[in-house]
Structure 1
Amino acid sequence: MDSNLNGTLDTYSYLDLEVNAEEQIHCFGLLSPTHALKVQPDRAIEIQQQLLHLQQTGGLLCGHNIRRFDRRYLIRQWSELNDLLLLDTLELSVLAFPLEPSHKLQKDYKLSDYASNDPLEDARATRFLLERILQTLLEKPESLRQAYVWLLTCGNEPGDRAYQQLFQNLDWQATVPPDYTDLPQTATTGMDQGYLMQLWQPAPSGAARFSFDHRFTLAALLAWNHERHAAQTSQAPSIWLNHLPDSQTVLDALLPVTPEGLTYQPYFKEFDIKCFRPPQEEAVQAIISGKNPLILMPTGGGKSLCYQLPALMYYRQQWGLTVCISPRASLDGRSGCRFRIRRIELFYLHQ
């Protein structure tokens, strides 16, 4: 990491909060260019003054999961801090390290998971993580990095404004969408090209077509798709994306369970059948459409296929998880054999 970038990161402030079971802040940790503070609530005014100054001067406040966790506690305590510009290293970790199973902040100072958190040390760990993230993003294909920059800055929401400042400081600006055809094929393989093109074009007014969370989810899925193809792994997308309100909408559009031109014939071969029995197709289509059908069929009529086929389709297209509740353990066993042959992981809980 060059000294210029280190110097830029040292101009930012880094915050971590410890919140108790009553959802009250019981300790603050703040690392700024001029202060390193670890204070209890009785000295919270010191944190407030630092953050008010940061907001008034247009500085950036960085934290791990700060946008969706710490911020709500800050605003609850000091509503005047509503306009703080926030960088979230949890968001950026999903872009830089999309195949990592967890994006928890690494706390090397803790001797065990049961040791107490130190919010000032966590603020320092956030500073180190941001450096590592930016170094990793710098090593990505330039067209892909420019796509991330554009997707995270092409609107006018608070998240856009924070990342505009970050990327401007790094000279990673993208005022127009990068050429879609320049993206690595590994990033777009298997995705619905029509939906990608729709997302890629700005609205006629010049404003972003979609919300910040929507665009961030797209950037995260592009990062995941690129890395999983490059690494030739079947790793699923980060489960953290499920916290974003638009994640399933974007996933359904990018990786539809029933893409255009779908035929069930390959699935029939896998299940060693020639066609649907009534009313299997109607039931399968209802489940895939997000409905909750009640299916009554006689013993041996093919009820299992009604949930096994959608489960397999969701797994193949979206790495989806299916939970099946059955009163018959023997039924679980027969179904499990079929999925194990297809190298699909199964877990049983018996009562």
Structure 2
Amino acid sequence: MQIEVLPLAPEQMKQKVADETQLGFGRLFTDRMLLVEWTADKGWHNARIKPYEPFMLDPATTVLHYAQEIFEGLKAYKWDDGRIALFRPEMNARRFNQSASRMCMPEVPEELFLDGIDKLVELEKDWIPSAPGTAMYIRPAMIAVDPYLGVKPGDHYYFFVILSPVGAYYAAGFNPVSILVEDKYVRSVAGGTGDAKTGGNYASSLKAGLEAKKKGFDQVLWLDGKERRYIEEVGAMNMFFAYGNHIVTAPLTGSILSGITRESVLRLAIELGCTVEERLIDVDELFADLRNGKVTEAFGSGTAAVVTPVGTLGYKDEALQVGDGGVGAITQKLYDALTGIQTGKLDDRYGWIRIVDAA
């Protein structure tokens, strides 16, 4: 599909942040966006890159009432030689379409997904920060835009992509965070939408997250929705626990997201000499293993934070330090390996990198 590039007037251009160390996460957006429409009679059409601007939506728009919405998250990195790299965007395209299928939305052709992002990132390459720990966050999304009240799939959709130059997801950067295991609220169950990247999953996590912050924790770790016994994931990360060189993570049982960074971590861990296991993790057994020192490290993985060390785990009225409370050796190695590949400091032996613009 031909993607039209609409003109950008000088007055529509925004001022860039001078100090890249102060970017934060998700607060600043670039000058342009990608927008493609789908209708039942035409399919995908009218692909254009246009100035970044608000949508004009009817108050009856379907997404506002029935939450037909999905999104993805990936990053573009500016390498030292000037090239721009994306990390495993093909997997984002496939997961996006898995989410679309679950939410009864049209699938986006993978070529359109990837080419649209390539072209948008290339046009906005001057926005990509280069300070250590920074990147360009890419947010593809789709919403139903029919002005119609009635519970049924829409007949008109917007697929769009916006860009945001970002720093670290957590304010503390690559430092241990504290996680509270949630034993009251449930985010998702197998058969629901937990394995789709849709906004409702995140909205349902907000109350527990706010209550955890009041108790001094950074994030919530969810238990399964049926028995409230087995460890699942953190809102923005899949979770891993290291027993020495043996790494354990929850299996993909249909209620948690199939993380792209998760899959990358599992592959890299084996390369680093670890053994990996996907199994149900009983929360009581996990905390017993924390008390007796069997669990030596805990960390999360996700696009936004890459790899995040966990220094404290809380459950009910107990808070336990993980290992020595610092960044574990395996966590550090995995972080260095992943970020090294993403930023071009290490060779990509896996074919994970897609080059957008060769300088």
Band of TM-score, shorter chain: under 0.3
The structure with the larger Rg is 1
Higher relative CO (Cα under 8 Å, sequence separation at least 6) belongs to 2
Identify the structure with the greater helix proportion.
1
Higher strand share: 2
